[in-house]
Structure 1
């Protein structure tokens, strides 16, 4: 076996540390997950039992409206077979470890495609040392599946692959309520390429916008999906003062302060 092959195997073995560590956390008897995780598993179970969901008995008592727009359809479809095989708590644990592992593997593959020779040590260090990354790795959040799509989206934009950018932006709408955040990512790339190459190429920005519009127009939850996304975007700038501080309608966006948006 050549040295290069041995180093590749070493990196793969290093990445396996991540699902092992995450599993020891989520499968621990004392582990207590958050409400988001139960929501996603619960919706997947309801879809498995009752089919296509458009309403709940308790819907009028929430910030959602009737008909119910499933903003995380892709994630719930992924969870359905797990809920069918395992009891809900186990399905939750298996699901979050699987999705988090897929995210780490996607990071590794994309960085290798971009010419990074040793991505595995940095991925392992970053995902275990960063509290926010660790939280997303062990809790089933709304953005858990979207983060996988995001990695490949950034790769497509960086490569200037407009068709792939369009497809990934389209699919992201079915995965995450905050998928419109892809537009700032594409705009940042546009500015960076202008700085590096001295020219403007808005092809991927246009592809991103068109992909998002396609996903919102060709959508099984139209028009409720559209109105909910607009309400989410408003929470960037405003919040109902009647709500408890720290509790937001559409909390995916409202927690982002101005400096965070600039960093994104």
Structure 2
């Protein structure tokens, strides 16, 4: 309990990727705690004092390193570029005592299997490899294809072990009435639901206790998309068949506006 409390004081860095100094501190604290636990004949107060000293030193140093970049570089080290413009920097690789096999292994853990696809790769002071892919190899984003940015909301677990969770349900902006209606559409009772989640778009997905039961896929969104496309086709047809110039212009304008709306919501409604 004592060691746990002190580790909480030192912060989350102690359980993340460790720097050289944090690595030494962690080993020392573990060794001191082990000696106190096993050496019953020794005075445990001395061990507790030693632990307090080894906690106080990094805690004070961390305060100083927040204000001094020189101290941060000295205690935490500095990153080093290993790949630039798709080419491995062998000199930096040797300085870090990194082999080609180790570099390839680190790349594979990041889902990269070809060095030529990497624009920039840096070995951080924590030992982790940060990678920037070349533009043509980066994942496609909504910005690349001109889609309007949608604010993502966290998925809320509204049902857990067959029990409705009121706080997540309220966070999702839904009520019990809506939830009951959605469950009726799926043809399941809340008592049979192990986990129910509401996603960013407000759609309910459930996982049942009985994995053999098949939940029918929702057809609401595809139906809305089909209805919009039908309206678009009707407007185009009306613009072709009418003899009134003003009506023709009105139908064409509405058709163009509806086409733009369909392009904006097509990805969402197709899911």
Tell me the TM-score normalized by structure 1: 0.20
Larger radius of gyration: 2
- The structure richer in helix per residue is 1
Q: Which of 1 and 2 has higher RCO (CA within 8 Å, sep 6+)?
A: 1
Tell me the TM-score normalized by structure 2: 0.20
